[in-house]
Amino acid sequence: MKEKKEKKEKIKQEKISEEKKGKEKVKKDKETSKFVQKIKQKWLIDGTKTLILVLLIIAVFLAINIGMQTLDLTPIDLTEEKLYTLTDESKEKVKDIDKDVNIYFVGYSDDDADLALAKQYKNTNERIVAEAVTAEDRPDLVEKYGIENGSTGIIVECGDRSKVLTSNDLVTYDSATYETISIAEEKLTSAILSVTTDDIPKVYFLEGYSDFSLNVDMRYLNIYLANEITEVDTLNILSTGNVPDDCDTLVITSPSKDFDDVATTAITDYINKGGNILWLNAAMATSVDLPNVNKILALYGVNPFEVGTIRETDSSRMVSGSPDLVIPNLGYSSITEDLYSDGVIFRYPTKININEDELENLKVEETDLATTSENAYFRTNFNNSSTTATDGEETGSFVVGAQLEKTLTEANDETGEEAKTSTLIIYGENDFASDYQLAQNSQYPAIQLAYNKDLVLNSIAYLSDREEDITARKSTGTVTYTATEQQDTVVRVIIFAVPVVIILIGLIVWQKRRRKK
C-alpha cells in the first residue's frame, strides 16, 4: 500500500511539473509573439522605419568589425592543430627579448593570415610590433631593402639589424602529400631571434686558392648570409698565418691550386680545435695535383676528387632532359629534412669519394645529404657526347653531398666535459651556390632557386650552431586554397548583393502598402 501511495504521489508531482513547464512555455511564446508583433507594427509597417532598422543592423555589424580590428584581438583558431595560433615554443623564445622589434608587412592587406600571426607576438612581448604598410606610406623601407614596386616583403627590424623575408620563405612543399605547408611561425620567430641576438656567427671564406670568391661568382651568397645576421669576411691565410679564433665556419670553394704549407698547417690546427668547414668542390676539367688539399680531406675520410662529372639518365632526376643538370635525392638530416626533395639543382656535379673503411679509425660519422639516382654514370672523357653510359664508365648512385662529423675527444662523464668534434659538410658542386645562371635566358642565379639557397644557408647555420636559422616546417600542414572566379563571385554576391536585395524588397513592399492606403 505504501509503495502504491508513493508511486501516485510521484506521478502527481510529475504532472504538476509538466503543467508548470507548459505554462512557462506558453508565457514565453506569448512574450516572443508580443515582441514580434511590436516590431511588425512599429517598424515593418512604416517603410521609413524599416529602412532605418536595416541600416541600424548594418551599422552595428560594421561597428563590431571595426571594433574588433581596433582592439587587435587574437583571432579564434578553430583548427585542430592550432595552425594560426602562436605556439608555446615561440612564446618562450621571444618573451624575454628586451629590444624593440618592428615587423613590417610591405604590400600586405590588414587581414592577411601571416600578419595576424605576427601580431600575436605582442601579446607575449609588447616590444614586438607587427603592422601592414604600403610602399607609399614607407618609401624609406622600400628603398632601403630593395623591395620592387608592386611586390611584397616582410622586414624584421631591430635597431641597425634587419632581416627580409618573402612570401615564398613562409611556405614549403611536401612532395609526399602534395601539400603546401606554412612555416611562417618558424621563419618569423627565427628572424626575430636573429636580429635581437648578441651572438653573431662569423663565417670566413678562404681566398687565394680558388676561382670562386665572395666578389666573383658568389656575390648573392654574400648578400643572403648578411640577411641571415651572419658576419662574413674573407681570409687570406698567408697574411694571418692562422684561422682566426672567432671563426665559426670556414668556407672552402673549389681549390684550383694546392694549399701551401702555411695554409695546410693553419687549417689542420683549426680542425683540431673543433673548427667546422663547408667545402664546395666543382668538377675539374683538367687534372690538378693537390696533395695538401687531399691531406685536409683525408682527416675526414674523404679520398681525392677525380676528374669527371656525374650525368643522369633518370628523367625524373634531371632538369628539362639535360643530364648535366642533376636533381639529387636529399638525405635525412636537420639540414635537408624540410627541403623539397625535387627542389635542389646541381650543375655538373662530381662524386665525393668517401673511404668507408677508414671512418671508424678516424672516428668519423657519415651522413649522406645528397645522392644521385642508381641510373647515373660518371664521365671522365669530356669529348664523349653520348647521353648514356659507355664502356668503362662507372654507373650507380653517387654521393654528391655529405656531412662528416669527426670526434676529437670523447665526452667525460666524470668531469662533465662534452665531446669535442669537428664537422665537414661537403658538396661535389659549387655552381648551385653561385651566381651562375642555369639557362641563357634566365636572369636568376642558381642560388636564387629557393632550395639551392636553403641548402647552403642551412649548412652554414648548422656548422655555426644556429639551428634556429635552418628552414623548418610546422608539425602539420594545410593545403593552400585559392577561390575560383565563380566562387569569388558567389561570396561577393552574398556579402554585398543580398543585403541590397533585402532593402529593395522592403522598399517595394512599403510602396505597395502605401498605395493601398
More confident position, 174 or 438: 438
Question: What is the pLDDT confidence band of residue 466, given thresholds at 50, 70 and 90?
Answer: confident
Q: Is the domain of 293 the same as that of 439?
A: yes
- On whether both 3 and 113 belong to a single domain, the answer is no
Residues 107, 195: one domain? yes
Judgement on whether residues 289 and 421 belong to the same structural domain of the protein: yes
DSSP state of 495: I
317 is a domain residue: no
pLDDT digits (tens, 9 = 90+) for 18-57: 666 655 655 555 555 565 565 555 555 555 556 666 677 7
Provide the mean pLDDT of the chain: 81
Report yes or no on 180 lying in a domain.
yes
| Structure confidence at residue 372 (pLDDT) | 97
Per the rule left: phi > 0, alpha: psi between -120 and 50, beta: everything else, 465 is left
Residues 67, 4 within the same domain: no
pLDDT at 228: 74
pLDDT value for 438: 77
Segment holding 272, helix H or strand E: helix 261-272
On whether the CB atoms of residues 170 and 183 are closer than 8 A, the answer is yes
310 belongs to a structural domain: no
Residues 245 and 360 both lie in one domain:
yes
Residues 363 and 262 placed together within one structural domain of the fold: yes
Q: How many structural domains are present in the chain?
A: 4
Mean pLDDT of 407-413: 89
Question: Same domain, yes or no, for 223 and 354?
Answer: yes
> Which carries the bigger pLDDT value, residue 387 or residue 13?
387
Q: How far is CA 174 from the centre of its chain?
A: 12
| pLDDT value for 497 | 63
Q: Roughly what angle, to the nearest 10 degrees, separates helices 261-272 and 291-298?
A: 10
Cα–Cα distance measured from residue 275 to residue 285, given in angstroms and rounded to the nearest whole number: 31
Whether residues 209 and 142 fall in one domain: no
Residue 243 in any domain: the answer is: yes
Q: Using the predicted structure, report yes or no on whether residue 76 has a pLDDT greater than 60.
A: no
* Residue 216: inside a domain: yes
10 and 58 part of one domain? no
Residue 342 confidence (pLDDT): 78
Place of cell 600575436: 120
Mean pLDDT, range 202-231, rounded to an integer: 87
Out of 67-81, 191-205, 245-259, the most confident range is 245-259
Describe the strand order of the beta sheet including 153-158 as a list of residue ranges: 128-133, 101-106, 153-158, 161-165
Is pLDDT at 432 greater than 60 in this prediction? yes
The DSSP annotation for 32-71 comes to HHHHHHHHIIIIISSHHHHHHHHHHHHHHHHHHHHHHHHH
Mean pLDDT of 114-119: 94
Q: Which of the four pLDDT bands, split at 50, 70 and 90, describes residue 437?
A: confident
Is 321 among the domain residues? Answer: no
Q: Do 162 and 139 fall into the same domain?
A: yes
Residue 513 banded pLDDT, cuts 50, 70, 90: low
What contacts 417, CB < 8 A, 6 or more positions away?
Answer: 409, 411
Residue 386 resides in a domain: no
- Count of residues for the chain? 517
| pLDDT on residue 5 | 55
pLDDT (0 to 100) of residue 251: 97
Q: What's the count of helices (H) and strands (E) in the chain, helices before strands?
A: 15, 20
Q: Helices 450-463 and 219-227: crossing angle, nearest 10°?
A: 60
- Which of 182-186, 378-382, 474-478 shows the lowest per-residue confidence on average (mean pLDDT)? 474-478
User: Model confidence over 246-268: pLDDT tens digits?
Assistant: 999 999 999 999 999 999 999 99
Helix axes 498-516, 47-71, angle to 10 degrees: 160
Give per-residue burial for 115-129: e unless 16+ CB within 10 Å, then b.
Answer: bbbbbbbbebbebbe
Give the range of the structural domain holding residue 8, as residue numbers without chain letter. 1-31
Residue 351 has pLDDT above 80, yes or no: yes
Residue 13 is predicted with a pLDDT of 63
Residue 39 inside a domain? The answer is no
- Tell me: do 110 and 137 sit in the same domain: yes
Asked if pLDDT for residue 312 goes beyond 90, the answer is yes
Ranges 73-87, 211-225, 289-303, 463-477, most confident: 289-303
